[in-house]
Structure formats: C-alpha cells, structure tokens
A and B are shown apart, each in its own frame.
Chain A
Amino acid sequence: NAGVTQTPKFQVLKTGQSMTLQCAQDMNHNSMYWYRQDPGMGLRLIYYSASEGTTDKGEVPNGYNVSRLNKREFSLRLESAAPSQTSVYFCASSEAIQENSYEQYFGPGTRLTVT
C-alpha cells in the first residue's frame, strides 16, 4: 500500500499562474482533506470531501477550488496564484468523517513557492 500520494513534490509558480495539485489514496477511505502548513501556524484545513461526490469549505478556502474525481482522488486547484499561497500543502484521508475513529493519514506534501 502506498497510502496517500501527492504530485508534484515541488512547484514554483509566478503570480497569476494556475496549477492543480493531485492527491490519491489506496486505503479505500471515504473522506479526504486538503491542508496548508505555514511556519508557526499549524495545519489549516482548506477544503474537505466527506464522501465521493461532496466537497465543503474549511477554514481557509479563498483562492482555491477542489474536485473529488472519484473515491481515490481529490485535487486542489489554484486558479490565479498569489505569493500568500506560498506554503506546504498536504492531502489526507480518513475512513469516514462521521466515525469516532477519525484518524487522518497524510501524504508527503507539495512545497509550493509563488514569486
């Protein structure tokens, strides 16, 4: 099992460019999440998908869009990148958002720099 995989690992964008971060999990999990991690601020939820076919905003959704392509895949899109979106992005998955056993399993991250 690969667990949660993310592509690309690194990316440099210029202000105004767009890109899509890809995430896939092979644990048959129902719920998937996108976080960003900034120094001293902890992980902050951008968007989540409780189950296939649904998506909802998290704490910091502005400037991002998501697509739950199928049960395995959840992508994050930056339509017009800004320097404030320079961060490390993590995808995570869990069995089900309703369950008490709610452990989330994280991918290796994408390090994005916007100049």
Chain B
Amino acid sequence: AQTVTQSQPEMSVQEAETVTLSCTYDTSESDYYLFWYKQPPSRQMILVIRQEAYKQQNATENRFSVNFQKAAKSFSLKISDSQLGDAAMYFCAYSLYGNKLVFGAGTILRVKS
C-alpha cells in the first residue's frame, strides 16, 4: 500500500522568508500524481500545487514550488516570501489515478510577523 510521510509536525517561518516542508512517499508505481494541499483554520482544503510523476520539471505556482526527486521518492514544498495568510496545516498527498488520495499526517506552518 502506498504511504505518505511528513516528518515535520510543525514549522515556523518569519514573514517574507522562505520555508521548505518535507514529504516522502512509498510506491512501486512509476506513474502517479503528487499534491500539496493547504488547510487553514476554516478547514477548507485548498489545492496548492500538483506534480505528475512522469514530468521531470518541478512544478511552480507563484510563490510555491516543489522539489520532486522521483528516485528518492521525495516531494518537498518551498514557500517563498512567506505571508501571514500562508499559516495553515499543509498536507502532502499521493494519488495513482487521481481518485483516491493518500495523505500524510500534515505539517502545521506558523508565520511570524
């Protein structure tokens, strides 16, 4: 069974600085999808960024980028120029066909002003 591990229960970052959240996963498949979701206190899950495993190029979305290392089964999220609104729980997720998402335990990100 596929598993997703987020080893950092909590992270802090100063406003305007950069932070990296870690994620590793376990799968025997070669084609799959990886995601980062953000869950603020409102509990609404928001898709931050996605990565297709067959693409070597790392995905970027504005201030958010990933470092996808397929051989190492690692998928970290970098947030640049952190803002107060980035404070949330961040979940890394894996999906084989885009349907069933397997989530990590989450990382709480605190942003200090």
Q: Do A and B come from one complex?
A: no
